[in-house]
């Protein structure tokens, strides 16, 4: 496959994932009106796991884990979907879709910080400027709302900050494990482990089979869970993992979260009529500016240089 075709595929994947993940904030909030957090996660990842297991049984996808070092993969799936999806869902439940989108947009900024702390790589000057501008945008976006928020909403901010921290490690971890595991193998492991983890968690919380009973009844919740499980789970993660394998984690997360942020904020304001003001507009602009600067510094100098 030539480079031009690979770029076209990557751009198509970025757009597809941006639309689905950007709208997922709205879908999650709608689904949470019928099911609790643990039920949504159990059904979402249960559907995703079932789809991958059926595909593997029918020979549609090929996976092989025997003889490979599974430690890195286990840490990867613990971060995503186990920790990330849990804290994302808890955060979305306690904040607006607009706030969720803006906070998730900070993932590429955290990627740079974690690569410095874990891989001992030093950000170049342009990347540092991008980090500072991006964070100032995130703070400006949520600070006015946080001043009038109750403890529940502040808890939502904390949950989302935890989510983006583990999500950033996942972005970096896919690149680190791509030499041993294929994109499909990583996506398969994510879905199956997520299905097991969240269904056990839901059972422990006393939900039983309630989420699947609601799912089988048909109606909006059925389509919402299919959107989250098949669209956002199976398709989007396979596409995003492909891009992480082809493009540096910093640049890939910059492009993806930037586009998700735009879709999520616009959808939250237009569809849910969520409150916004001048601080939302300026905050988003600053966040996007910081992300773009990080992406450009990544294109020119790969954003990071190994520390001596």
Q: pLDDT tens for residues 249-268? A: 666 776 677 677 667 667 77
pLDDT attached to residue 15 = 82
The 10s digit of each residue's pLDDT in 55-74 is: 999 989 889 988 888 888 89
pLDDT attached to residue 49 = 95
pLDDT attached to residue 243 = 81
| pLDDT tops 50 at residue 107 | yes
pLDDT attached to residue 293 = 75
Break the chain into its structural domains and give their ranges. Answer: 3-306
Average pLDDT over residues 101-122: 74
DSSP string, the chain: --HHHHHHHHHHHHHHHHHHHHHHHHHHHHHTTTS-HHHHHHHHHHHHHHHHHHHHHTTSS----TTS--HHHHHHHIIIIIIHHHHHHHHHHHS-HHHHHHHHTTHHHHHHHHHHHHH-EEEPHHHHHHHHHHHHHHHHHHHHHHHT--HHHHHHHHHHHHHHHHHHHHHHHHHHHTTTS-HHHHHHHHHHHHHHHHHHHHHHTT-TTHHHHHHHT-SHHHHHHHIIIIIIIIIHHHHHHHHHHHS-HHHHHHHHHHHHHHHHHHHHHHTS-----HHHHHHHHHHHHHHHHHHHHHHHH-SEEE--
pLDDT attached to residue 307 = 40
The 10s digit of each residue's pLDDT in 266-284 is: 777 777 676 777 777 887 7
pLDDT attached to residue 210 = 92
Residue with the bigger pLDDT between 275 and 196: it is: 196
pLDDT attached to residue 141 = 65
Average pLDDT over residues 197-201: 94
Give the pTM. 0.79
Percent of the chain with pLDDT over 90: 22
Average pLDDT over residues 239-247: 82
Residue with the bigger pLDDT between 174 and 187: it is: 187
pLDDT attached to residue 152 = 60
| pLDDT tops 60 at residue 158 | yes
């Amino acid at each position: 496959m030539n480079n031009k075709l690979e770029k076209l595929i990557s751009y198509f994947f970025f757009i597809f994932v941006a639309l689905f993940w950007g709208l997922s904030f709205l879908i999650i909030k709608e689904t949470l009106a019928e099911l609790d957090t643990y039920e949504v996660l159990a059904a979402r990842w249960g559907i995703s796991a079932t789809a991958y297991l059926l595909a593997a049984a029918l020979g549609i996808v090929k996976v092989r884990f025997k003889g490979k070092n599974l430690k890195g993969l286990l840490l990867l799936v613990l971060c995503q979907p186990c920790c990330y999806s849990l804290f994302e869902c808890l955060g979305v439940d306690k904040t607006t879709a607009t706030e969720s989108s803006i906070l998730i947009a900070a993932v590429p900024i955290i990627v740079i910080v974690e690569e410095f702390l874990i891989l001992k790589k030093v950000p170049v000057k342009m990347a540092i400027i991008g980090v500072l501008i991006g964070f100032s945008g995130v703070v400006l976006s949520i600070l006015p709302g946080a001043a009038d928020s109750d403890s529940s909403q502040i808890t939502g901010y904390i949950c989302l900050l935890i989510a983006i921290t583990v999500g950033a490690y996942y972005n970096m971890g896919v690149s680190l494990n791509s030499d041993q595991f294929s994109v499909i193998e990583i996506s398969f492991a994510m879905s199956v482990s997520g299905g097991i983890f969240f269904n056990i968690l839901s059972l422990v919380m006393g939900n039983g089979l309630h989420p699947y009973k609601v799912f089988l009844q048909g109606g909006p919740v059925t389509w919402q869970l299919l959107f989250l499980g098949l669209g956002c789970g199976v398709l989007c993660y396979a596409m995003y993992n492909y891009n992480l394998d082809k493009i540096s984690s910093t640049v890939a997360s910059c492009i993806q979260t930037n586009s998700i942020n735009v879709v999520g904020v616009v959808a939250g304001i237009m569809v849910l009529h969520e409150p916004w003001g001048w601080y939302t507009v300026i905050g988003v602009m600053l966040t996007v500016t910081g992300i773009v600067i990080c992406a450009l510094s990544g294109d020119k100098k790969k954003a990071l240089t190994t520390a001596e």
